[in-house]
């Protein structure tokens, strides 16, 4: 149990150091430690906490000796990719490859060379997480299917929506082996798929929105309908109507029609007014002809001077003097009356 706890602590330290540009670190001073390194990268392994207290030790992989420590002298028997730092008791392994994975054993000895103890650690060299691919698609019932992909060793996937872990009320189904989830119809927000393994971490995010589906609930022909349908194709739970859909026109399209209607109204109005005026004028003229007749057209008195008698007569000029009403029955012209007398022009004779 203690070994597992040390492995977890070592893993956290590795991730923390790696995120700050430092080499991953693993505490291998406890027996059974589990350490991880990124393929092609480097890792620092703590072998002994206090080198000065250990006179001699040998560190090897299987039966192959990697290095020997005797008092203050280090004997490296492997290639330069293994570098020991006596100041802090760590070994750095550079340019990690798959063959570097395996069990490493540290044998402790006293001054006489007698073995006083030993401990092991497991080193796992893994490929780091590559770029994450996130793909979504809408299903026929309105659910959203999302798949997350990446290439690496020992990958662990984690899903969050809007900053929180997905719940059963948001998830329709989930397949951990294929890293595919199916979201319910009414789910939307910022979906993040994070991928990690002991040596690296990466993530991908996308905005999720509904696929245009709505939930309908009604009774049609005695049958209860309650389901998700695509909004644009929905023909159920819709109230029937006998009014045809209104045809909309733009103002530009209506201008010629409005102008034509207005012009027609103006023409009809002008014609109506003209007809009314003509009818009234005709009626008035007929009444006047029947009731009145001009009997005196023009009467003028021009000033004249007698030869012997100086009498000045004022000039009198009459326009239309008198109108006499015409009797309804035409009188006998053989016996004219005074009312029927017509004066054309009267002048005083010399």
d(CA 128, CA 283): 111
User: Considering Cα of 147, then 151, then 152, then 153, what sign does the dihedral take?
Assistant: positive
Q: Which of 16-20, 102-106, 198-202, 302-306 shows the lowest per-residue confidence on average (mean pLDDT)?
A: 16-20
**Of 95, 125, 123, 108, nearest in space to 7 by CA:** 123
In terms of C-beta density within 10 A (0-12 exposed, 13-18 middle, 19 or more buried), how is residue 35 classed? buried
Domain ranges of the chain: 2-126, 133-208
Indicate if 133-208 has the same CATH topology as 2-126.
Answer: yes
The DSSP result for 301-330, as a single string, is: E-----SSS------EEESS--EEEPPSSP
Burial 293-310 (b: 16+ CB within 10 A, else e): eebbeebeeeeeeeeeee
Backbone angle region of 62, left / alpha / beta, with phi > 0 → left and psi within -120 to 50 → alpha: left
133-208: CATH topology is: Immunoglobulin-like (2.60.40)
Average pLDDT over residues 43-64: 89
Q: What pLDDT is stored for residue 213 in this prediction?
A: 82
pTM of the complete model? 0.54
Number of neighbours of residue 245 by Cβ within 10 angstroms = 6
> Is residue 325 over pLDDT 80?
no
Residue 347's pLDDT band, with cuts at 50, 70 and 90, is low
pLDDT at 284: 56
Please name the fold of domain 2-126. Answer: Immunoglobulin-like (2.60.40)
Which pLDDT value is given to residue 44? 96
> In this structure, are residues 300 and 318 in contact, taking their beta carbons and an 8 Å threshold?
yes
pLDDT above 50 for 54: yes
Let me know: does 210 contact 187? Beta carbons within 8 Å: yes
Whether 281 shows a pLDDT value over 70: the answer reads no
């Amino acid at each position: 149990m203690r070994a597992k706890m040390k492995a977890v602590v070592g893993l956290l330290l590795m991730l923390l150091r790696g995120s700050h540009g430092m080499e991953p670190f693993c505490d291998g001073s406890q027996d059974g430690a589990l350490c991880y390194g990124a393929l092609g990268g480097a890792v620092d392994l703590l072998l002994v906490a206090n080198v000065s207290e250990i006179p001699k030790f040998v560190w090897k992989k299987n039966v192959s000796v990697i290095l020997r420590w005797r008092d203050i002298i280090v004997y490296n028997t492997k290639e330069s990719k293994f570098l020991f730092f006596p100041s802090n008791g760590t070994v750095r392994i550079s340019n990690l490859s798959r063959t570097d994975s395996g069990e490493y054993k540290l044998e402790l000895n006293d001054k006489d060379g007698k073995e006083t103890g030993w401990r092991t650690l497991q080193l796992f060299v893994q490929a780091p997480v590559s770029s994450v691919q996130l793909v979504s698609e809408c299903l026929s019932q309105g659910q959203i299917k999302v798949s997350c992909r990446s290439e690496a060793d020992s990958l662990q996937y984690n899903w969050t929506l809007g900053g929180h872990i997905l719940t059963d009320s948001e998830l329709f189904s989930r397949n951990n082996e294929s890293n595919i989830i199916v979201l319910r119809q009414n789910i939307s927000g910022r979906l993040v798929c994070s991928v990690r393994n002991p040596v690296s971490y990466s993530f991908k995010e996308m905005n999720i929105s509904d696929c245009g589906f709505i939930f309908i609930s009604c009774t049609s022909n005695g049958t209860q309908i309650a389901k998700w349908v695509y909004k644009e194709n929905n023909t159920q739970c819709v109230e029937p109507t006998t009014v045809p859909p209104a045809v909309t026109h733009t103002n530009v399209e209506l201008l010629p029609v409005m102008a034509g209607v207005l012009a027609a109204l103006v023409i009809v109005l002008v014609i109506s007014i003209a007809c009314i005026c003509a009818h009234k004028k005709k009626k008035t003229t007929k009444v006047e002809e029947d009731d009145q007749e001009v009997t005196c057209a023009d009467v003028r008195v021009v000033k004249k001077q007698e030869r012997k008698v100086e009498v000045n007569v004022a000039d009198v000029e009459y326009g239309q003097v008198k109108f006499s009403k015409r009797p309804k029955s035409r009188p006998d012209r053989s016996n004219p009356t005074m009312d029927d007398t017509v004066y054309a022009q009267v002048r005083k004779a010399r």
